[in-house]
Structure 1
């Protein structure tokens, strides 16, 4: 028996593009350009896994193209009205619509331990948090792609030496190959955002485990960029490292001058002292 979804009135069952009202507090901007939706669906390889999770599908403009791919599609959506719309208009999603908060939900309840890709037109207000959750679940997420605010997408894919290079850049590149794909103008959304959007793709590295203490690596990167204008010698001062270590040339650099590999090297230098300090 087909599941009936509450919150969806009969007057909205005609695929009217205005059927679901965009909600500002959820950061909703519904993509209306079919060509761009198809391009985003094409950003995943669909290789090495058989399941895909779309975050925030809204009215399913991207979903319809994902359903054409050789993958088992699930969607996770917090907006009750969108969930109802999807349930009535996308029968192929029966049993695969999860009315949950992606940031708080245990994804093993959807996929068990199976690997899966993540894709979506991500709400700007939680996009950074989405990336951090993907990083935490990287052992199960070999591919990730989707649309962000352009500046955020560029920051994730940025290389050292740039003002945009920061915490997200370093941490993401530790585990994934990053690629900025294309820019999307505000005019293809309803309602249009005030800024451009950018689509990126992350492909997990073959070796995505760190040769250093992961928690310490995250701590060092965050501490360094919290005072990005200072040299590492000063921004990491609260770690109480010995003077002979702090004389190392790497401590004379600023965080944006270090690549991800160099931050790993820095962590390995600090690690013996940090572990000793915690005992």
Structure 2
């Protein structure tokens, strides 16, 4: 890792000791699984690349295992967004060691625009709560032009759904929207035993780098409509699944065989359908 900007890092109390003092147990209702292994947390930060002069937001820092690793990098600032007041109290102690670089925001990350928390260049690095990870990602993809990169941990199956190619088991609506907006790559698999409490499944760290050219809000909404219809009845032919939005006409204009199924279409074909649908709405 790059040299730390904080000279006091070596006197931080052990993370497990801090958790024990605060009796911080993971809440299933919040989708919490704490990643405590410092080596794995450091590996995740290494995968995030050079953080020099970057402003980092971490959603759901919990007891601060990954937070410590981010703060030990050359990141300019770190903002933790945490809904659990128990964790916020613990994180306030960590802030004492990094008073200039670490800020804590006690809010629900689903309910506001995270890009307002810091200046560009911004990145999000997070071990996301399992129960809201997909919803958070879709929110961020709608404003991807505000973000330089995302380094995120999801349940393995969700990571597959984000990164899968057409004609594969996990290719679906989330794959199309994610890869339409950004380059998506699985970087690392993490076993259940690395977490406390251990989940029932493996987790994956993925890298999402938004493309420089982003769709308008209207086009993004059109893509949401097209993919919701197409994958809402994924085993049906497109002429049936897209019937409610006059899909027969759209498919003809796009020169797409109406007997195909949604999982066979490429990102570019979905992009064309979304643009044709938007044009139709404006005509």
TM range, smaller chain: 0.7 to 0.9
Instruction: Tell me the distance in 1 between the aligned counterparts of 2:159 and 2:181.
Output: 16
Q: Is contact 1:73-1:93 (8 Å) kept?
A: no
One of 79, 88, 97 as aligned partner of 1:83:
88
Find the counterpart in structure 2 of residue 36 from structure 1: 40
Find the counterpart in structure 2 of residue 227 from structure 1: 233
One of 58, 65, 68 as aligned partner of 2:69:
65
Seen in structure 2, the aligned counterparts of structure 1 residues 141 and 90 have a Cα distance that, compared at 3 Å, is: same
Instruction: Tell me the distance in 2 between the aligned counterparts of 1:49 and 1:218.
Output: 34
Partner of 1:42, secondary structure, is helix
Q: CA deviation at 1:242?
A: 6.1
In the alignment, structure 1 segments of 5+ residues that lack a partner are 1-11
Find the counterpart in structure 2 of residue 144 from structure 1: 150
Instruction: Tell me the distance in 1 between the aligned counterparts of 2:152 and 2:39.
Output: 14
Q: Is contact 2:38-2:69 (8 Å) kept?
A: no
Instruction: Tell me the distance in 2 between the aligned counterparts of 1:77 and 1:265.
Output: 39
Find the counterpart in structure 1 of residue 111 from structure 2: 104
Cα deviations across residues 198-257 of structure 1 (Å, max 9, x unaligned)?
Answer: 111101113233698332122101110001111211111111356595484343321111
Instruction: Tell me the distance in 2 between the aligned counterparts of 1:60 and 1:26.
Output: 16
Deviates more, 1:86-95 or 1:161-170: 86-95
Instruction: Tell me the distance in 1 between the aligned counterparts of 2:264 and 2:53.
Output: 36
Q: Is contact 1:233-1:246 (8 Å) kept?
A: no
Alignment RMSD (CA, Å): 2.5
Find the counterpart in structure 1 of residue 267 from structure 2: 260
Partner of 2:144, secondary structure, is coil
TM-score by length of 1: 0.86
Partner of 1:252, secondary structure, is coil
Instruction: Tell me the distance in 2 between the aligned counterparts of 1:257 and 1:13.
Output: 48
In the alignment, structure 2 segments of 5+ residues that lack a partner are 1-14
TM-score by length of 2: 0.85
Seen in structure 2, the aligned counterparts of structure 1 residues 93 and 79 have a Cα distance that, compared at 3 Å, is: farther
Q: Is contact 2:145-2:212 (8 Å) kept?
A: no
* Aligned positions, number: 264
One of 183, 186, 189 as aligned partner of 1:183:
189
